[in-house]
């Protein structure tokens, strides 16, 4: 049996203590076996990328398990030891079979409507079939379902809701009955009231969150995963569509211009904000630290960003923090990462499932 030892200030409780890793789990009781000290410093759970797409790349689908593992390895190198896959067009379960890759919580495939989302990315159904498809995707995932909830409507030339409110309520309610939570892609304002009223668990992007919608989301217990580094692509998206859909392009520019303000307002109102990169869409994997910097740049206090990017994010997804018996997925820093952003970029040591990986 290999036992490793770490000593440091454990966050969030700020207690300086010794800990040992035995059979992949954390213990604060000294074992009888000899242990090698592998790190000292400030210790947090690994980061969470709560919105990524393993099996998808800016160039298209990635069905090859080796290439999927390479994506997950990039995430691991950035300190993301837990990933929530927010919909993948291919089977990525082989990532879950490897102990050297981040833990992966899957959402099955996106559920979209014909001609109202990225072609070939999701399962496309009409509203009357939404509940049945949610049931199928609950069976294909790990407790999450992903809906494409707004997209450009070519008839009006702008973003518009994809699903009628009554179908959303039935579908999200059915997911909850089956023990699953629902995440929804939504850029604009108009789809949000129906989603929030239906009990949406996770609003992805959320650039349309006006003050009244923020208050409603807080009351409903919805969380937001902003993916700010992906929102930075909005001006380019607007430019590409400006000639054919000028109203849509103007809307996307406006959403981009207010994106930081709206996410900061959501945080200040008490809506939970979690870190997600949208890696695999227009962005490569391994950018969780860039999203952390973007959230801090948006005006959310650094200590709060680090909390939701690590222990709060893990708890939200159903995994414990650094407590007795918890999985040993941790990162050690030379200084307190809640106060020193440079420490986030240069960790001293990473341990995944009890094994030193970096």
Domain annotation for the chain: domains and CATH numbers: 3-44+320-356 (2.30.40.10), 46-316 (3.20.20.140)
> Given pLDDT bands bounded at 50, 70 and 90, which one contains residue 76?
very high
Collapsing DSSP to helix, strand or coil, 332 comes out as: strand
The residue among 316, 55, 20 whose CA lies nearest residue 181 is 316
Spell out the long-range contacts of 121-127 with Cβ–Cβ below 8 A and sequence spacing 24 or more.
Answer: 121/56, 121/87, 121/89, 122/87, 122/89, 122/146, 122/148, 127/163, 127/164, 127/167
Residues 71-93, mean pLDDT to the nearest whole number: 97
Q: What are the structure tokens assigned to 277, written together? A: 């990169």
C-alpha distance from residue 171 to each of 50, 110, 125, 163, 317 (Å): 22, 14, 13, 10, 21
Residues 343-354, mean pLDDT to the nearest whole number: 95
In tens, the pLDDT along 258-306 reads 999 999 999 999 999 999 999 998 999 999 999 999 999 999 999 999 9
User: How much of the chain, in percent, has pLDDT values that exceed 70?
Assistant: 100
Collapsing DSSP to helix, strand or coil, 148 comes out as: strand
In tens, the pLDDT along 149-195 reads 999 999 999 999 999 999 999 999 999 999 999 999 999 999 999 99
In the chain, the DSSP E strands lie at: 3-10, 15-22, 25-27, 36-45, 47-52, 56-57, 60-61, 80-85, 103-106, 110-112, 123-124, 144-148, 150-153, 158-161, 181-186, 202-205, 223-225, 330-333, 349-352, 355-356
Residues 220-237, mean pLDDT to the nearest whole number: 98
Q: Residue 353 has what pLDDT? A: 96
> Given pLDDT bands bounded at 50, 70 and 90, which one contains residue 31?
very high
Return mean pLDDT, the chain. Answer: 97
Q: Residue 1 has what pLDDT? A: 66
Q: What are the structure tokens assigned to 335, written together? A: 């200084």
User: How much of the chain, in percent, has pLDDT values that exceed 90?
Assistant: 97
Q: What are the structure tokens assigned to 332, written together? A: 């050690």
Q: Residue 2 has what pLDDT? A: 79
Number of neighbouring beta carbons within 10 Å of residue 159: 24
The residue among 303, 305, 302, 301 whose CA lies nearest residue 273 is 305
Give the count of alpha carbons within 13 A of 71, CB side only: 31
Residue whose token pair is 């291919």: 90
- Number of helices followed by number of strands (H, E) in the chain: 13, 20
Pairwise CA distance, residues 252 & 304, whole Å: 28
Contact 308/317 with Cβ under 8 angstroms? Answer: no
**Cβ-proximal residues to 84 (8 Å cutoff; 6+ apart), any chain:** 48, 49, 50, 51, 52, 105, 107, 144, 276, 317
Q: Residue 23 has what pLDDT? A: 94
């Amino acid at each position: 049996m290999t036992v490793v030892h770490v000593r440091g200030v454990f966050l969030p409780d700020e207690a300086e203590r010794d800990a040992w890793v035995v059979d992949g789990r954390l213990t604060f009781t000294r074992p009888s076996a000899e242990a090698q000290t592998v790190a000292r410093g400030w210790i947090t759970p690994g980061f969470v990328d709560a919105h990524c797409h393993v099996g998808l790349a800016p160039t298209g689908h990635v069905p090859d398990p080796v290439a999927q593992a390479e994506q997950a390895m990039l995430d691991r190198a950035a300190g993301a030891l837990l990933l929530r896959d927010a919909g993948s067009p291919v089977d990525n379960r082989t990532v879950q079979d490897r102990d050297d890759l981040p833990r992966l919580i899957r959402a099955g495939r996106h559920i979209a409507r014909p001609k109202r989302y990225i072609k070939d990315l999701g399962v496309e159904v009409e509203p009357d079939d939404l509940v049945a498809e949610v049931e199928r995707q609950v069976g294909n995932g790990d407790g999450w379902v992903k809906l494409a909830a707004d997209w450009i409507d070519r008839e009006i030339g702008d973003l518009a809701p994809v699903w009628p409110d009554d179908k959303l309520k039935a579908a999200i309610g059915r997911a909850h009955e089956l023990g699953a939570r629902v995440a929804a892609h939504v850029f604009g304002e108009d789809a949000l009231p129906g989603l929030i009223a239906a009990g949406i668990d996770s609003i992805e992007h959320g650039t349309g969150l006006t003050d009244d919608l923020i208050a409603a989301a807080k009351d409903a217990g919805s969380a937001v995963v902003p993916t700010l580094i992906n929102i930075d692509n909005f001006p380019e998206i607007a430019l590409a569509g400006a000639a054919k859909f000028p109203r849509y392009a103007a809307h996307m520019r406006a959403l981009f211009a207010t994106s930081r303000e709206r996410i900061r307002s959501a945080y200040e109102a008490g809506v939970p904000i979690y870190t997600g990169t949208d890696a695999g869409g227009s962005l490569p994997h391994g950018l969780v630290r860039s999203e952390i910097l973007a959230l801090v740049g948006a005006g959310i206090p650094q200590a709060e960003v680090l909390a939701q990017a690590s222990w709060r994010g893990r708890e939200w997804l159903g995994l414990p923090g650094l407590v007795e018996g918890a999985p040993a997925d941790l990162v050690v820093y030379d200084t307190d990462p809640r106060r020193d952003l440079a420490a986030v970029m240069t960790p001293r040591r990473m341990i995944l499932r009890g094994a030193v990986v970096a």
